[in-house]
Amino acid sequence: MKPFYQKLCAAEAALAGTLLVLMVALIFLGGVARVLGYPLNWSTDFATAFFAWACFLCADIAWRKNSLMAIEFLPARLPAKAQRLLRMVNYAIISAFLLYFMVMGAWLAWTSRVRSFQGIPEISYSWVTASAVVGGFLLLVTTVLKVVDEVKGKRSGPATATDVL
């Protein structure tokens, strides 16, 4: 299972990077085309869709690498057992939110399946809203793996200044 997950993480990082590059390229291309008198209105629309997907993929990458913002002022002063309990409570809250987010995202994707994306008849709005479901699922998998690491006694909390140095 671990080699599959590592390949999934690598594919996720490659896709996130590709989407970010495409997003920037489309916005730049749209700006240049507008200056030349041939506006490409669809370029901003596709860049927006790529941004939605990239946000969730990048959030999962950051969550996996403990690179999300964390306020450690109070938790760092707690005993080790209390810190661990606080992390587990946080993981439970995050998991509950992500489950709700996935269910509501799936409902939104389903109800918006007949809606066209930005007036482009060939593309359903569900392609954009599905990013919430996929992103929520990936974030939930990462959260569950953090819980497993915590139960096994491996450190899975936020990165500290000493981890970086």
DSSP 3-state of 72: coil
Return contacts of 154-159, CB within 8 angstroms, 24+ apart: 156/66, 156/87, 157/66, 157/83, 157/87, 158/66, 158/68, 158/70, 158/72, 159/65, 159/66, 159/67
15-49 pLDDT, tens digit per residue, is: 999 999 999 999 999 999 999 999 888 888 889 99
The answer for residues whose C-beta is within 8 angstroms of residue 27's C-beta and 6 or more apart is: 43, 44, 47
What is the model's pLDDT at position 161? 42
What are the structural domain ranges in the chain? 2-159
Q: What confidence tens digit (pLDDT) does each residue in 72-131 have? A: 888 889 999 999 999 999 999 999 999 999 999 999 999 988 887 777 777 888 888 999
Considering the entire predicted model, what is its pTM?
0.86
Element spanning 83, H or E:
helix 80-111
pLDDT of residue 158: 56
Structure tokens at 79: 């005993």
Strand partners, 8: none
